[in-house]
Every structure is written in structure tokens, then in C-alpha cells.
A = this chain, B = another copy of it.
Amino acid sequence: MTAYQSLEKQFKKLFNYEHLAAICGWDQAAMMPDGGNEARAHAMSELAVLCHETLTAPEMGQWIEEAEATVASLSEEQKVSLKEMKRVWQQATVLPSYLVEAKSIAGSKCEHEWRTQRKENEWDKFAVNLKDVVKLAREEAAIRAEQTGLSKYNAMLDLYEPGMTTEKLDVIFGELKSWLPELTRQIIEKQSNVTVEEPAGPFPTEQQAELGKKLMGILGFDFNHGRLDVSIHPFCGGVPQDVRITTRYNEEDFTQAIMGVVHETGHARYEQGLPASLQGFPAGQARSMGIHESQSLFFEMQLARSPEFVEHIASFAKDTFDRQSDQDFDISNINALYKRVQPGYIRVDADEVTYPAHVILRYEIERDLIEGNIEVDDIPGIWDQKMQEYLGISTEGNFINGCMQDIHWTDPECKMSTAENHNYKDGCMQDIHWCDGSFGYFPSYTLGAMYAAQFMAAMRKTIDVDICLKQLEIAPISAWLEENIWSKGSTLTTDELVIQATGEPLNPEYFKQHLINRYLNN
């Protein structure tokens, strides 16, 4: 067996172990009764150790070295595959095991206690845990920086969005910041005389699921290789041959679950469309978090929230919930509902116009935190200042016990200016990402939104997307994505992928034009 074949065998083994982790992880979120959690946590942790041991097995370094020495004997695909194998192996081996363990313990503690601390708005207690996590993340970043020659934060960013740097992001996000606040203001002004009615429930879960599956089918989800279920936090899991997506249902509002299903369907189709010839190898996996998000946002923002597709959603929903004569189901109302722009505290509830502000704010804080320019104690102050700057709202002094849950920034009665009443809960304590040290992840969301807009612009050069959506003829759209994105796996860098697909590197102008077209020019 050649060294390269040994590597392939080892990565196939890892792929099999990760298959088990993916299915048991899905089960934990979607099926497992509460009482099963302790035993499951032990089993999953044992498997995580095994996956790490498999990827960092003592022979791996030598195999990689030998394979590199005889690289001339490999096919082009194998060369790329080897490069990606080496990249994930290096990322996995560089951390000393004491640090991996310390990170895992600090992360679990921080995340576990955050679940209560957030509810109780206890920033001070949370900050104690977060400081431990940040200390270890800085240590990790320093080690990764030394290995890669990147800056500390860039080395973390590289885990989620290989090739992306603060130098590029500062420019890209800088551009967004230059026009987004004003654009947001204009959109809100334009929408101020639009009345939107929320259709009144109940909308039974079974019917919502039926509608969700109908849309999944239309959008090309392969039910022979995947399923839709329910979990508290929607996600896309499983393996490419068996993709598990989840959603959550609110019987008073079907619009969220339905669009959530569409979003996860985008993730799922990427997974289902990854190259079979590289199955099990790093080069056969999704390129990056940003590209993954570009696919979910392509399906949600570019396809499903287009007026052409919303018309179908409204019509299907009318049938599904038997509301033929309910005016709230009129296309114009459903369309207005799905286009509503409103600054708010919570990132996950944000519309596509205000979402980037949430991401840029987090990016700037975590970048400075990892580089050592600010400390955990500085976060709340910076958060509030940037919320004010980018979205015109503040989480400072607006917390009143009890009404916090439903507070709206325009409601003056809920504003108080004492430090004790600072709304950390819906401010810098709202996300799980920092708890377990996932610094460098946040930019992916907005990168995804921008990639999606750019892909759509490129696609429109050869495909009449509006006609496709009007006629629910998704095949040409799928074929373009499959050819340009899905089938590439990780065989290209993100830059190469975007340039090959669209003719140029990431250009935020497409995103801007998309927002202007959808929210102002109509």
C-alpha cells in the first residue's frame, strides 16, 4: 500500500466514525429523550476522542511526507486531495493535548452555565467563564499563528473560512458599513406606510411539516438521501448520503418554520451534491462555512424570498391551511411579511438587511479580543456603542425585569438608564459561539449572504431565474449550483471557486444591488 493509499484508508475510517457522530448527534437533538443525555454525552465524547486519535495517528505525518515526496505519481484530483488532507491534519495536530482538553472543559462549563446565566442576565458570572475561554482561545490562536504564519485572529478565521483575513474583511465589511446604515434607513422609511398583517394561527404542526416537505421537494431535496425532523435549534446534519435537516414549529406562525426549512434545504443540497468520487476525503467536503451559508442563503434569500417564489408559498399555504378567503394570505401581504425590515437586538431574528450589522459588530469585537486589543470586560460597552452606531439601538439601560423578553427598541417605556438594568441577555450574551471558543465563525454568515448574491448575479447571465421561479422549474438553477459549487467540494480555494463561478473575487456590490433591487426598486 502506498503512503497515499494509507492516507485514503485512514480518512475513510475517520469518515465512518464521523458518520456515527453525525447520526448520534442528530438523534441527540431530534429524537433522544432527556434521560438519555448523560450516557449519550459519554458515548459522543468517547467518539470525539477516537476521531481525534484517528486524524492525528502517529503514522499520519510520515504518510503525508512520503505522499508529498512521490506526488508525481498522483492524479490531479489526488494532488488536491492530499493538499486538503494535510491542511486538516495540520489543524488537528498543532494543538498540544493539554490545550485541547482545557478548551473542551472550559467551553463545556461556559456553555452549560450560559444557558442559565443568559436567562438571568448575569453578565458578571458569565464574564468569569468567558475570560477562561478567551485566555485559551488566545493561546490556541498564537499556536495556530505560528504554524500558519498568519496573524492570531486570521489563524482562527482560517479554520472556518480558509484564505480569508482581517485585511480582506476590513475592506469588505468597511464597504458594507459605508452604505448599509443609510440604505437601512431608506428601506425602513419606504416600508413605514406598508401595512403587514400576520396570518392568525393556529397552524397545526403536521400541516406546516407537509408544506415544508412540499417546498423541499420542489427545491430538489432528495428524500431518498435525507429527512426533515424537529429540534429546538434548527440545523443541517447527517452525512451527504443521508442529510438530516430540522426545523421548529410555532403553531401561531407558519412563516418562520417554512423559511427555516428552505434555508436548511440549501445546506442540504450542497451536502447531497458534494463530489462522490472524493467521498470521505477532506477535498470532498464543503469548502467553508461561508460557502455553506451561501447555499442556505441562496435558497432562502435569493430563491424563496423572491416575489416569484413567495407567490407560490402564499398559494400553497392557502391550500395547506385551508384559508382560501383569508386576506392575510394574499400574495401582497405574504410578500410584505417576508420583506419586512426592522432593526432588533437578536441576530438570529434579523432580516437580511440588518443582519450584516450584527455580524460586523461581532467580527470587530472578536478580532480585537483575540489580537489582545480589548478585554472581556470591554465587550458590553463596545457592543452598545456599535449597536447604536450600526443599527441605531442600544442594549444599555433598556432592561426591565419581566418585560425584557418582549421589549422593542422603539418602546420608550421599557428604557431605563441604570447599569443594573443593562440588557446583556439580548446583547452580548445572546450567542453560543464564543462560549465554546468558536472565534472566527461569525463572518461566515455575511460572507455567505454576499457570495449568494454574487452567485445569483452570475447565474442570471445564462439562466432566466425569474421564469424558473415563476414556473417552479428549479432544475436549471440546481444544475448551475451543482456544476459551479457543489461538485467542487474543497478542490478549489474559496477565491478560485468564486472566480470560476462568477468571473471575479468576492464583490460586495452584488449584495448591495440585491438589497436595492428587492427593497427599494419596486
Task: Give the interface of A toward B (CB within 8 A).
Answer: 12-13, 16-17, 19-20, 23-24, 27, 31-36, 38-40, 42-43, 46-47, 50, 222-227, 238-242
Given contacts A16-B47, A23-B27, contact A242 B42 (CB under 8 A): no
Q: Which of B33, B47, B223 makes the CB contact (< 8 A) with A33?
A: B223
Task: Please give, as numbers and ranges, the residues of chain B lying within 8 Å of A42 by CB-CB distance.
Answer: 12, 16, 19
Interchain nearest-CB distance for A136 vs B (Å): 26
Nearest CB on B from A210, distance (A) = 14
Nearest opposing residue in chain B for A225, CB measure: B35
A225 near B33 with CB under 8 A, answer: yes
Instruction: Check A20 against B47 for contact (C-beta < 8 Å).
Output: yes
Q: In the complex the two chains form, is B35's CB within 8 Å of A224's CB?
A: yes
Give complex CA distance A75, B101 in Å.
33
In the bound complex, CA of A47 to CA of B46 (Å)? 13
Question: Are A242's CB and B36's CB within 8 A?
Answer: yes
A227-B20 contact in complex given A27-B27, A239-B39, A241-B38, C-beta closer than 8 Å: no
Alpha-carbon separation in the docked complex, A13 to B38 (Å): 15
A241-B35, A242-B33 as given contacts; A17 in contact with B46, CB under 8 Å:
yes
Q: In the complex, A19 Cα to B224 Cα: how many Å?
A: 26
B residues near A35, Cβ cutoff 8 Å: 222, 224-225, 241-242
Q: How far is the CA of A36 from the CA of B26 in the complex (A)?
A: 14
Q: Known contacts A31-B31, A36-B238; can you find 10 more A-B pairs with CB under 8 A? A: A13-B46, A16-B42, A16-B47, A17-B46, A27-B27, A33-B224, A33-B242, A35-B222, A38-B241, A39-B241
Collect the chain B residues with CB atoms within 8 Å of residue A24's CB.
20, 23-24
Residues of B within 8 A of A39 (CB): 19, 239-242
B33 x A19 contact (CB < 8 A): no
Residue of B nearest to A34 (CB): B224
In this complex, what residue of B is CB-closest to A39?
B241
Nearest Cβ distance between residue A51 and chain B, in whole angstroms? Answer: 12
13 A-B residue contacts at CB 8 Å?
A: A16-B47, A19-B39, A19-B40, A19-B42, A23-B24, A24-B24, A31-B227, A33-B223, A35-B222, A35-B225, A35-B241, A36-B226, A50-B50
Cα–Cα distance between A24 and B242 once the two chains are bound (Å): 12
Query: Across chains A and B, which 10 residue pairs bring their CB atoms closest together, nearest first?
Result: A36-B242, A35-B224, A16-B46, A19-B43, A39-B241, A35-B225, A16-B43, A20-B20, A36-B241, A23-B24
Q: Provide the residues of chain B in CB contact with A32, threshold 8 Å.
A: 242
CA distance A16 to B42 in the complex (A): 7
With A23-B27, A42-B16 already in contact, the answer to whether A33 and B227 are too (CB < 8 A) is: yes
Give chain B residues whose Cβ lies under 8 Å from the Cβ of A226: 33, 36
Residue among A36, A50, A238 with the highest chain B CB neighbour number at 10 A: A36
Compute how far the CA of A124 lies from the CA of B31 in the bound complex, rounded to whole angstroms. Answer: 44
Contact of A242 among B16, B40, B242 (CB under 8 A): B40
